[in-house]
Amino acid sequence: MANPRPEQKLEPWKDPAATPYIRIEKVTKKFGDFVAVDDVSLSIYRGEIFCLLGASGCGKTTLLRMLAGFEEPTAGKMWIDGADMQGIPPYKRPVNMMFQSYALFPHMTVEQNVAFGLKQDKLPRAEIKDRVNAILELVKMTQFAGRKPHQLSGGQRQRVALARSLVKQPKLMLLDEPLGALDKKLREHTQFELVNIQEKLGVTFVVVTHDQEEAMTLASRIGVMNHGKIVQVGTPSDIYEFPISRFVADFVGSVNMFEGTLIEDEPDYVRVASKELGGNFYVNHGVSAPPDATVWVALRPEKIVIAREPPASDDEDNRVRGVVKEIAYLGDVSVYLVQLASGRMVRVTRPNMRRQAAAFDRITWDEEVWLSWDPSSPVVVTQ
Amino acid sequence: MIGRRSFLVTTLMAFGFAFLYIPILSMIVFSFNESRLVTVWAGFSTKWYVELFQNEQIINAAKLSLRIAAINATGAVILGTLAGFALSRFRRFKGRTLMTGMTTAPLVMPEVITGLSMLLLFVAMEHMFGWPAGRGVTTITIAHITFSMAYVTVVIQSRLSTLDESLEEAAMDLGARPWKVFAVITLPIIFPAILAGWLLAFTLSWDDLVITSFVSGPGSSTLPLVIFSKVRLGVSPDINALATLMVAVVAIGIVSAGLYMQRQERRRERDVQAALAANQ
């Protein structure tokens, strides 16, 4: 496989000499007959924000709870900072967790909530006070120190929960759907805040989420999970641009998936014939699959060019004609559903770069259009 | 139409209240009766109250009942909380279903059977170990704890099942050991339920007659036993006075608890509104 990947700064997971901060080896967790986590192996490095991404019930929360010590693996081992975690109870792990429900103690004030963890460590009172004040300052909650959790809004509770976990200065923090309970605006704001705090304190974050956008914004790397297994691990752009399976391509972002047959397979390009498309894909990366194998071509909607005229090049591949059936105007982009001769619908998004005045001659319903794309755009997956 | 419906509602309500409270009301009225005859009104007087406080038998019985009720409530709350905790927190253990059934069985068991079996047990135990020696305060207290614990267990268990388990996990995650978590997180949060369980156990013991009559011995007559034995010889107005006092105590307790809870709820709602407004 010779993927033309963009240049990146050196990352620990690419350095074979780097020792992982968390090592998960062949971990399986069963609840009765139900396999929640299935033979997962994973390495997470110091200072990372690692997102476990998957639909609900895929085992991501169970994996997180095993790191926190609330569940014991049925099989397999976990190491945090070189120490075997088997049989170590939650209160002895160098880990703090932020819960999806925030789990703020309702009978304590904000200040008491934040101080709780430090009191368990039997720190001197003056130090507790200083550290609590400092962390409340960091999350901008100083003025609410005397309030009870039910007197706070969702965003404020989230910040208190974050402060309560961070105040113990853990080396590893686990976050279970940290932004799930917030509305969209607040969420976007908080995502960046979280990343800032993480960079400032140098904590390793493991985040569980079902929201791909959240994972994309936060993560240094994403582990996509399905049915208890990790199906792909990579940087957000790796996952989005080079999904290794139909599931990943489909789960992260939206995608047009075409079934086809491999007709030419060279190290630097492949050609896939697709009945659904009514033509061939020419893709400028190789795949490892037997000839004539059935493969799938994933093509992101934003990578398709929609135009009235055929593309300028004479190339017969990577182009197809169709009729516009639906248009959805979303403000920043418009989504076109284009029907091909085979009857297959293709989703195309196009940024609305110019203001759509009435006089602007835009592609409209039932118009015949050409769809084309660059040979670097489609991704061929074999499973 | 609406007028007629509200008239219907008012009538039904009046009927319902009358059904519930006229007997009590008549008892209260007759406790202030001058006459010794319970059903003949002969003028207002508080002499039965005076007589009541001079009746040493009744005063002693009331003291004994209070003592037993308090010990019973405390014991039942401790055992009931532990049982409720085990049932709601340890989802899978051997004999869980059996334990659930057994703890709640006393709720539906006829009191006569509970009382009889308790008596048989105490007699057998006395033969085998020499303890408890005879029937008395100890046996009454044990018997009361046994059946009121079931009620407390149900109250605590239902409160715990609505308690967010992640609160306990969060405390553990922050470094608190399981016992500490129970003491500083779980216990304070479920305290209202524990208080409710205590009051419930207290009243159950305070007015229990059937089970007590099986396991009591000489010199251990609780208030219900005394009242019952007196009433068998005919209702006397001082019993009316006693009952009125009991109703008064219970009413004051219920009303003040209700007012307190209402105030808490209002304050809570106000706080939530304020938090939402501040968030805008």
pLDDT band at B269 (very low <50, low <70, confident <90, very high): confident
Cα distance from B187 to chain A (closest Cα, Å)? 11
Mean predicted confidence (pLDDT) in B72-92: 87
Based on the fold, state whether residues A68 and A202 are members of the same structural domain.
yes
Residues B69-79: b if buried by 16+ CB within 10 A, e if exposed: bbbbbebbbeb
The reply to whether A239 touches chain B by the CB within 8 Å rule is no
Paired sense of beta strands A294-299 and A305-307, if any? unpaired
- Per-residue pLDDT at A358: 54
pLDDT band at A7 (very low <50, low <70, confident <90, very high): very low
Mean predicted confidence (pLDDT) in B8-22: 91
Q: Are the beta carbons of A156 and B177 separated by less than 8 Å?
A: no
Residue A4 maps to a domain: no
Q: How far apart are CA B87 and CA B157, in angstroms?
A: 7
Q: Are the beta carbons of A153 and B279 separated by less than 8 Å?
A: yes
CB A274 within 8 A of CB A265: no
Residue A6 maps to a domain: no
- Per-residue pLDDT at A2: 41
Tell which of A246, A270, A305 closes a domain. Answer: A246
Q: Are the beta carbons of A151 and B274 separated by less than 8 Å?
A: yes
Based on the fold, state whether residues A282 and A222 are members of the same structural domain.
no
pLDDT band at B280 (very low <50, low <70, confident <90, very high): very low
Mean predicted confidence (pLDDT) in A58-84: 93
Full residue range of the structural domain in which residue A339 is found:
254-381
- Per-residue pLDDT at A178: 86
| Mean predicted lDDT score pLDDT of chain B | 86
pLDDT band at A182 (very low <50, low <70, confident <90, very high): confident
More confident residue, B157 or B91: B157
Which residues of chain A neighbour B275 with C-beta distances below 8 Å? Answer: 150-153, 156
More confident residue, A226 or B275: A226
Residue A279 maps to a domain: yes
Nearest CA in chain A to B267: A151
Which residues of chain A neighbour B193 with C-beta distances below 8 Å? Answer: none
Based on the fold, state whether residues A296 and A366 are members of the same structural domain.
yes
pLDDT band at B219 (very low <50, low <70, confident <90, very high): confident
Nearest CA in chain A to B168: A103
Residues 6+ apart with CB under 8 A from B155: B80, B84, B193, B196, B197, B200
Write the pLDDT tens digit of every residue in A129-139. Answer: 999 999 998 88
Q: How far apart are CA A278 and CA B13, in angstroms?
A: 77
CATH of the domain at A222: 3.40.50.300
Q: Number of folded domains in chain A? A: 2
Q: Per mean pLDDT, which range of A309-313, A365-369, B73-77 is the poorest?
A: A309-313
Mean predicted confidence (pLDDT) in B176-183: 92
The reply to whether A343 touches chain B by the CB within 8 Å rule is no
Nearest CA in chain B to A107: B189
Based on the fold, state whether residues A258 and A241 are members of the same structural domain.
no
CATH of the domain at A369: 2.40.50.140
Based on the fold, state whether residues A186 and A229 are members of the same structural domain.
yes
Q: Give the best-scoring range by mean pLDDT among A136-145, B30-39, B83-92, B190-199.
A: A136-145
Q: How far apart are CA B278 and CA B271, in angstroms?
A: 10
Q: How far apart are CA A60 and CA A211, in angstroms?
A: 12
Mean predicted confidence (pLDDT) in A8-35: 83
Which residues of chain B neighbour A153 with C-beta distances below 8 Å? Answer: 275-276, 278-279
Mean predicted confidence (pLDDT) in A119-127: 93
Residue A2 maps to a domain: no
Q: How many residues does chain B have?
A: 280
Which of B170, B185, B275 is facing A151, going by the closest CB pair? B275
Q: How far is CA B231 from CA B38, B216, B235, B240, in A?
A: 12, 19, 5, 10
pLDDT band at A360 (very low <50, low <70, confident <90, very high): low
Q: How far apart are CA A299 and CA A283, in angstroms?
A: 11
Based on the fold, state whether residues A294 and A166 are members of the same structural domain.
no
Based on the fold, state whether residues A209 and A60 are members of the same structural domain.
yes
Mean predicted confidence (pLDDT) in A177-188: 79
Pick the CATH number of B60-237 from 3.40.190.10, 3.30.428.10, 1.20.1640.10, 1.10.3720.10: 1.10.3720.10
Based on the fold, state whether residues A136 and A209 are members of the same structural domain.
yes
Based on the fold, state whether residues A282 and A224 are members of the same structural domain.
no
Residue A26 maps to a domain: yes
What's the first-to-final CA gap in chain B, in angstroms? 43
| Percent over 70 (pLDDT), chain B | 96
Which of B164, B175, B278 is facing A103, going by the closest CB pair? B164
Cα distance from B200 to chain A (closest Cα, Å)? 24
For the residues of chain B, what is the DSSP string, one character each? -HHHHHHHHHHHHHHHHHHHHHHHHHHHHHHTBSSSSTTS---B--HHHHHHHH-HHHHHHHHHHHHHHHHHHHHHHHHHHHHHHHHHH--S-TTHHHHHHHHHHHHHS-HHHHHHHHHHHHHHHHHHH--S-SSSHHHHHHHHHHHHHHHHHHHHHHHHHTS-HHHHHHHHHTT--HHHHIIIIIHHHTHHHHHHHHHHHHHHHHT--HHHHHH--TT---HHHHHHHHHHT---HHHHHHHHHHHHHHHHHHHHHHHHHHHHHHHHHHHHHHHHHHH-
- Per-residue pLDDT at B173: 94
Nearest CA in chain B to A157: B275
Nearest CA in chain B to A65: B169
Nearest CA in chain B to A116: B174
Q: Are the beta carbons of A101 and B166 separated by less than 8 Å?
A: yes
pTM: 0.79
More confident residue, B145 or B250: B145
Residues 6+ apart with CB under 8 A from A169: A201, A203
Based on the fold, state whether residues A300 and A153 are members of the same structural domain.
no
Residues 6+ apart with CB under 8 A from A357: none
Residue A223 CB neighbour total at 10 angstroms: 24
Which of A95, A116, A155 is facing B171, going by the closest CB pair? A116
Residue A47 maps to a domain: yes
The whole-angstrom distance between residue A168's C-alpha and the CA centroid of its chain comes to: 27
Helices B223-232 and B56-89 sit at what angle, rounded to 10 degrees?
130
Which residues of chain B neighbour A95 with C-beta distances below 8 Å? Answer: 173
Based on the fold, state whether residues A258 and A234 are members of the same structural domain.
no
- Per-residue pLDDT at A104: 94
Nearest to B212, CA basis, from B82, B69, B96: B69
Residue A359 above 60 pLDDT? no
Mean predicted confidence (pLDDT) in A117-130: 93
Domain ranges of chain B: 60-237
Q: Are the beta carbons of A120 and B275 separated by less than 8 Å?
A: no
Write the pLDDT tens digit of every residue in A288-347. Answer: 777 778 889 999 999 999 988 888 877 788 989 999 999 998 888 889 999 999 999 999
Which of A103, A154, A168 is facing B167, going by the closest CB pair? A103
Q: Are the beta carbons of A156 and B275 separated by less than 8 Å?
A: yes
Mean predicted confidence (pLDDT) in A194-212: 87
- Per-residue pLDDT at A8: 42
Based on the fold, state whether residues A161 and A301 are members of the same structural domain.
no
Residue B261 above 80 pLDDT? no
Q: How far apart are CA B115 and CA B214, in angstroms?
A: 5
Which of A68, A150, A164 is facing B272, going by the closest CB pair? A150
* A333-340 β-sheet, strand order: A305-307, A368-372, A319-329, A333-340, A345-351
The residues of B whose Cβ lies within 8 A of any Cβ of A are: 164, 166-167, 169-177, 180, 185, 188-189, 268, 271-272, 274-276, 278-279
